[in-house]
A = this chain, B = another copy of it.
Amino acid sequence: MTIEVRPIRPGEGEALLKMTRALAESHGFLDKYTATAADLERALFAPHPIVGCLLAFDNDEPAGCAFWHRSFTTSRGREVMYLEDLSVLPEHRRKGIGRALLKALAVEARQRGFPSIYWLMKGWNDRAKALYAEAGAECDEGLCYYRLADDALVRLAESSA
């Protein structure tokens, strides 16, 4: 068994799409998933991109991804890394690919000068929790994640002061 992790390359958007869709499915919002492979590649290979992605290969088969974006914390006054999607395809799980992606992401963060990586997790995933604890991550529980989107955003923008 060979696990390889490296940055995504142009033309691999379809493989990435499959992984991020698998994650959306396991979180129950595949019906709200509208992105295309072209959307993801456009963002990744844009000038001055705010996103990046590592792919993991299991015996040369695309098996998982760590898709991140640049973020910023006011308390440090500097950019940090935000891990948007860590996904391993079901048939490639329990082989240490999640751990390999997380370690490679830590290397990437160091190379780019980010002092920290942040991410959100639904509270119920015990396997992921164990992985993150082993990696040394600290967790702040009980947060509310707000979303103001689409029609609700327009309504607020057009409301009276």
Chain A contacts to B: CB under 8 angstroms: 3, 20, 23-24, 29, 32-36, 39-40, 43, 48, 50-51, 67, 69-79, 82, 84-85, 96, 99-100, 102-103, 106-107, 109-110, 115-123, 129, 132, 135-150, 152-157, 159, 161
Please state if A150 and B115 are interface contacts (CB–CB under 8 Å): yes
**Minimum CB–CB distance for A129 against chain B, Å:** 7
User: Interface residues of A: mostly helix, strand, loop or mixed?
Assistant: mixed
Q: Which chain B residue lies CB-closest to A40? A: B77
Please state if B100 and A123 are interface contacts (CB–CB under 8 Å): no
Please state if A118 and B145 are interface contacts (CB–CB under 8 Å): yes
| A115→B32 CA distance, assembly (Å) | 14
Please state if B139 and A152 are interface contacts (CB–CB under 8 Å): no
| A51→B150 CA distance, assembly (Å) | 21
**Minimum CB–CB distance for A151 against chain B, Å:** 8
Complex interface: chain B residues within 8 A of A35 (CB): 74-78
Partner of A156, one of B70, B84, B106, B146: B106
| A52→B42 CA distance, assembly (Å) | 23
